Structure 1
Amino acid sequence: MPLGFPQKEPTAIPSCCPGGPTSFLLDGGPRGWGGYKGPGGEHPGTRRCTARTGRRTLVDRSLGTHHPKAMLLWLTLALLWSTTCWAKQMYGEGGGKYFSTSSDCEITGIRVAVGLLGLVKSIQVRCGVSWSTVFGAPGGTTQEFILQPGEHIQMIYGSYRVFIRSLIISTDQGRYATFGKESGNTFIVSPSEDGKVLTGICGQHKLLGLSGLCFEWDYPPEDEEWTTEPNSTRDTQCSS
């Protein structure tokens, strides 16, 4: 029964407002599996770019104001800083030092080192006939997978538990290579468009190994002039 006090309708924040509860920006940017084909949405273990504490976002805690102009300016700057992060979906817990290979590399081989504790220690990419820098922690047993002429990587299946634990790399010629042993959360990555292939790898690493990985997909160059004698997968022992 009404008590005679005037009733006020709650003020609703428009969903299109940059600071609204359903804001595209405050919700962490684009969602999805970063190229995973099929239904599902976001993987439960995927690291997102927007830091959260309870129910309040980093934007709420940092601004300390709800003035539209100040909010819009801050969100515009945040969008510019985070474009690269949102464009690449990271798989794994993440954290540590960031690394990235060339994004337009014609990948012809991959080396992955796995340590005694089952952690993926490092990764290295072969562009044409040249190997990139080794990204990650030193040590472990290195396994090498050399692609055949005209062969490309089209799907990656992996697992992580604090650190990356395993990677299975599949090519468009039906070949695959397995690095490490599956443990913890799993993910599967493939390009969003037919014809695209793996052209770059980025991620983060800590003292013990790789903590997160993300992948670049693009169309392969039309003229592939590199030549190499196809090698089988081989192991190289490194110092622990």
Structure 2
Amino acid sequence: MLHLILVLSGVCTIGMTLPLPNYYSYSMAVGDGSGTEYSTAYDGRITGIRVWENSGSYIRGIQLRYEGNWTTPVCTSYYSPLEMTLRDSESIIQVSGKYGSGYIYEIMFVTSQGRSLKVGQPYGTSFNLYPSLDGSELRFLSGRQNGNGITSIGAHWAVYYTDDSKA
């Protein structure tokens, strides 16, 4: 019960719609975790992704769009990002990639419609983040960054309910 209270209090403090506890899961962060904490939590459903890569090296920055609103980029946003816009009723159901030597080197977002956005270099240890509950989708990312790039990444999953689906 204490674990449930801690999870719920953490979700409440980030200012987003509270998912029902039975429909929420967390994929533990991978990477060395140095630097400052970040979170992309925002209200609404994720509708777009931008990823910046340090040319031929590690992931420099990530940005998510919720409905029509882009979050502040995590870390840096130098150079041109690779971007994916999600279709209606499409959601992110998997985040995978590689990490090592202090950074996330490769990241791939896979959608419920079988599309993917893959950015970075195939260097390091593989990771695969996905929800533990059927029907869940990516709600936000969290982890650490050091000003130069993303050093760790974790994924928060939940079933997304619209006003129509709550009835």
Q: Pick the TM interval, shorter chain.
A: 0.7 to 0.9
CA gap of 1:132–1:168, structure 2 versus 1, over 3 A, is same
TM-score normalised according to structure 1 size: 0.55
- Whole-Å separation in 2 of the counterparts to 1:195 and 1:104: 18
Structure with the bigger percentage of strand: 2
Runs of 4+ in 1 over 4 A off after TM superposition: none
The alignment status of 1:222 with 2:162, answered yes or no, reads yes
- Whole-Å separation in 1 of the counterparts to 2:126 and 2:88: 30
Matches within 5 A, 1:114-193: 114-161=53-100, 162-193=102-133
1:121–1:136 CA contact under 8 A, matched in 2: yes
2:109–2:117 CA contact under 8 A, matched in 1: yes
Root-mean-square deviation over aligned CA pairs: 2.3
* 1:80-115 per-position Cα deviation (integer Å, ceiling 9, x unaligned): 6xx95xx66111111101111226541001100001
2:42–2:71 CA contact under 8 A, matched in 1: no
Q: Which runs of 5+ in 1 are unaligned?
A: 1-28, 30-79, 225-240
- Whole-Å separation in 2 of the counterparts to 1:223 and 1:179: 34
1:103–1:201 CA contact under 8 A, matched in 2: no
CA gap of 1:143–1:175, structure 2 versus 1, over 3 A, is same
- Whole-Å separation in 2 of the counterparts to 1:140 and 1:118: 13
Matches within 5 A, 1:101-112: 101-102=40-41, 104-112=43-51
CA gap of 1:130–1:116, structure 2 versus 1, over 3 A, is same
1:121–1:140 CA contact under 8 A, matched in 2: no
Number of residue pairs matched?
Answer: 143
Matches within 5 A, 1:61-140: 89-102=28-41, 104-140=43-79
Match of 1:212 among 152, 156, 160: 152
Q: Rg larger in 1 or in 2?
A: 1
Matches within 5 A, 1:194-205: 194-205=134-145
- Whole-Å separation in 1 of the counterparts to 2:41 and 2:108: 21
- Whole-Å separation in 2 of the counterparts to 1:150 and 1:210: 29
Aligned letter for 2:126?
T
- Whole-Å separation in 1 of the counterparts to 2:119 and 2:44: 21
Q: Percent sequence identity over matched residues?
A: 29
